[in-house]
Amino acid sequence: MTKNNSRSKLSIFALGGLDEIGKNMYVVRYGDDIVVIDAGLMFPEEEMLGIDVVIPDITYLLENRDKVRGILVTHGHEDHIGGLPYILKQLHVPVYGTKLTMGLVEHKLREAHLLNQTKRVVINSRSEVKLGSMKATFFKTNHSIPDSVGICLETPEGRVVHTGDFKFDMTPVNGQAADMHKMAEIGKKGVLCLLSDSTNAERPGFTGSERTVGEALEAVFRKAKQRVIVATFASNIHRIQQVVDAAHMHNRKLAVVGRSMVNVVNISMELGYLRVPPGLLIDPDEINRLPAHKVTVMSTGSQGEPMSALTRMANGSHRKVEILPGDTVILAATPIPGNEKLVAKTVDRLFRVGANVVYSTNSQHGVHVSGHGSQEDLKLMLNLIKPKYFFPIHGEHRMLRAHSQLAESVGIRPENIFISDNGDVVEFSGGKARYGSKIQTGNVLVDGLGVGDVGNIVLRDRKLLSQDGILVVVVTLGKNNGKILSGPDIISRGFVYVRESEKLLEEANRIVTQTMEKCVSERVSEWASLKTSVRDALSKFLFDKTRRRPMILPIIMEV
């Protein structure tokens, strides 16, 4: 493909969020001005053993740090703000977000000791922000968290619109409808390129209103004879509001458990986004002092996370809440792809202890609706914005592909649609678009306090250890003559049980001794060569005998 080498071209690309769910980070550059939209994290896949979270590789931004004018945040979900504490340690730029979004961001920055050194600017749907040669304006959207916005970036090349996560909810819980009038106005002025949420692009129809969940919750509360325990996403403030309303309607007190849930509830109440009647909230210590039919518990753990409050309740290991026979447990969320087994295991344990469980697959109640628009919502957005070029974002490849087909169905020409991967740069110049050179992207793995210090080699080693275990071979050599003074001692962990495999290990010991003696006789004195010889000989022998490949770690000492 041809490339435009003009310095003042408009470039758009993703550092995260394409061909994946999470880790959202999109970059718009014009000349020497760079604007970043969102800075999310992603939770690790099964093969990422021991990893806590995954964030985008921001090498490009660090190499161009003097050009980055700021980070615009569309809303307060982890897949859009979770990367900020890690990224802002390296990249000192202003962050712009709505009142609630910034409240959640500030909590993260306070924990990371970055609050005082980060410039934070609170915006609303009427704000205008100058970012070098670009200007950002905003429009209200509906999502499963209040204060969500879409972004319109006015650039010298044309308008670029980023929808954020959205659906069109005609009866929103907080009464804040999406600003379709403003979207239509932006579309009427002319939009060069639209970046739009593709999460539910495969799902027909419109996504249901969050208000229907409130009605469903109320119906479950009405039938419940004992305690009601509701698990949902901590950041789904509309859902939390409806649990608060249902508890109040049925004269129940409400206890909140789970660290992230407590944090979000406190921040939302403080900023006025969660309306809680006085006296409704109780401390978890008071749960057992009240009659069961007077108690509601709101908890984390809708995804079956092993250390979450609901999972510990189901296991009987939670310090303050025990599930009792006859309790009603509502999982007001659907499993994120990949979490189905964890959720099924938690549901099974809840049934085992005698709870009545209401969850997505067994419920006629409809205790969850998505925060993302389905096909008709997406087509409505396309028709309002009327972009010349279309760039589907936020989703796995099949979702991006489905979204592109929707765009074609509403009249966008196929050659004006860019289904991209992270790092693919789309360049605009003179109203024409083409692919430019690719940008370095990838995953930065966060493990404990280490950011980026665990890479593919370490993960490969962890995978090997988890599959076939490890053998440590310890040998002591004489410094003068190179002869074996003690050992070889072989230590097995996760490979074979030593007491039942004495003959195998004796044979392994003999192989190591022969290999070492051969190396000494051939005057091989480099330790790297000695270790490689031992590792190769022992690996071949063990595979022939067991069809397993444990990690072999030779330790050679000289005295």
Structure tokens at 252: 């129940």
Structure tokens at 417: 């649609």
A 10 A CB-CB count for 205 gives 10
Question: How would you write 199-244 as a 3-class SS string?
Answer: CCCCCCCCCCCCHHHHHHHHHHHHHCCCCEEEECCCCCHHHHHHHH
Q: Is 174 annotated as a binding residue?
A: no
Which strands make up the sheet holding 484-493, listed edge to edge? 484-493, 470-477, 551-558
Q: Is 447 annotated as a binding residue?
A: yes
Residue where the block lists tokens 């809708």: 302
Query: What is the set of active-site residues?
Result: 197, 372
Burial class (CB in 10 A: 0-12, 13-18, 19+), 397: middle
Phi-psi group of 258: left, alpha or beta (phi > 0 → left; psi -120 to 50 → alpha; rest → beta): left
Quick check: 475 and 554 in contact, CB under 8 A?
Answer: yes
Taking the chain, what is the end-to-end CA distance rounded to the nearest angstrom?
A: 64
Q: Is 363 annotated as a binding residue?
A: no
- Ordered alpha helix ranges (H), 112-173: none
H-helix or E-strand spanning residue 70: strand 68-72
Q: Is 19 annotated as a binding residue?
A: no
CA distance 530 to 474: 12
Q: CA 194: distance to chain centroid?
A: 23
Q: Is 80 annotated as a binding residue?
A: yes
Task: Kindly list the distances between the CA atom of residue 427 and the CA atoms of 9, 311, 387, 431, in Å, as whole numbers in the listed order.
Answer: 7, 48, 16, 10
Q: Is 377 annotated as a binding residue?
A: no
CA distance 86 to 322: 36
List CB contacts of 369: < 8 A, sequence separation 6 or more: 207, 208, 209, 210, 212, 213
364 backbone dihedrals φ, ψ, rounded to 5°: -90, 0
Q: Is 370 annotated as a binding residue?
A: yes
Structure tokens at 483: 């002869």
CA distance 185 to 180: 9
Cis peptide before 277 (omega within 30 of 0): no
Q: What is the DSSP letter of 494?
A: S
Residue where the block lists tokens 């809840």: 350
Q: Is 369 annotated as a binding residue?
A: yes
CA distance 297 to 250: 14
Q: Is 288 annotated as a binding residue?
A: no
Quick check: 292 and 323 in contact, CB under 8 A?
Answer: no
Q: Is 77 annotated as a binding residue?
A: yes
Q: Is 394 annotated as a binding residue?
A: yes
What per-residue string of b and e applies to 19-52 under the rule 16 or more CB within 10 Å gives b? Answer: bbbbbbbbbbbbbebbbbbbbbbbbbeeebbebb
Binding-site residue numbers for Zn(2+) are 75, 77, 79-80, 143, 165, 394
Q: Which residues are annotated as a binding site for substrate?
A: 234-236, 368-372
Residue ranges for the known binding site are 50, 52, 75, 77, 79-80, 143, 165, 234-236, 368-372, 394, 447
Binding residues for Ca(2+): 50, 52, 447
